[in-house]
Amino acid sequence: MLAMGIKLVFAIHIQMKYILYREQQLACDIARAWSFFSSPQNLAQITPKDMGFVVVSEFNGEEIVKGMVIDYLVSPIFRIPLKWKTKITQVEKNKSFTDFQLKGPYRFWNHFHEFIPNGKGVLMKDTVVYELPFGILGTIAHSIFVKKKLDQIFDYRYEILEELFNRNKKV
C-alpha cells in the first residue's frame, strides 16, 4: 500500500500499444471519490489549462452510466482544437468505470478507473492502454513528445487531486 503523497508511475510498450499506469491515495470515503470522478464535468478541473479542454456534452449533474457518450474539445498540440468522443463501456458503481475513445487523437484509447477503499481513504488507480496512429511516425512522436505530454497531464492531475482531497480535504 502506498503512503499519502507517494505516487507510482510507469509506462511500458507492448507492440504498438502503450500502457500508462498511475495510482494515488485519496483522503476521502468512496462516496466522495465516486461522486467527483463519475461526473464528466469534473474532468476539466483536473486537466491542464493549456490543453483547452472543454466538455461539450451537456449534463445536469448525472453520474456516468454504461453507454454514455461524452464529447470534448481538446487542444493538445499547438493549440489546435480536436474533437474527442468517448463512450463509457463499463461501470461498477463505487468501484470502477472505463472510458473508450470513439473518435479522437489516438488510434486506440481505453482508460480504466478503479477505486479501492482502504484504511486511509480510497486508492485510485488509472490504467490507460493507448496506441497512436501513423505507424512508425506515431512511434517516433510518442518518443519525442506524446509520452512526455501524457506524463505532464497526469502529473498535473495528481497535484490537483492532492490539493482537492489530501491537503484541503474538500471537493
**Residue 75 in grid coordinates:** 487542444
Band of pLDDT at residue 59, cut at 50, 70 and 90:
confident
What b/e sequence results for 16-42 when a residue is b if at least 16 CB atoms lie within 10 Å of its CB, and e otherwise? bebebbbbbbbbbebebbbbbbbbbee
- 80/20: higher pLDDT: 20
Q: What is the pLDDT of residue 10?
A: 59
How much is the average pLDDT of 53-60? 90
112-140 pLDDT per residue, tens: 999 999 999 999 999 999 999 988 899 99
- Report the alpha-carbon angle 40-43-44, nearest 5: 120
- 157/76: higher pLDDT: 157
Cα→Cα distances 94→38, 115, 160, Å: 9, 7, 21
- DSSP secondary structure letters along 146-171: IHHHHHHHHHHHHHHHIIIIIIS---
63-93 pLDDT per residue, tens: 999 999 999 999 877 788 899 999 999 999 9
CATH of domain 13-132: 3.30.530.20
Band of pLDDT at residue 6, cut at 50, 70 and 90:
low
Q: What is the pLDDT of residue 153?
A: 96
3-state secondary structure of 3: coil
Dihedral of the CA atoms 26, 23, 104, 136 (nearest 10)?
160
First to last CA, the chain: 24
Q: What is the pLDDT of residue 79?
A: 80
Taking the complete model, does pTM exceed 0.75, yes or no?
yes
How much is the average pLDDT of 146-159? 96
Domain residue ranges in the chain: 13-132
Band of pLDDT at residue 168, cut at 50, 70 and 90:
low
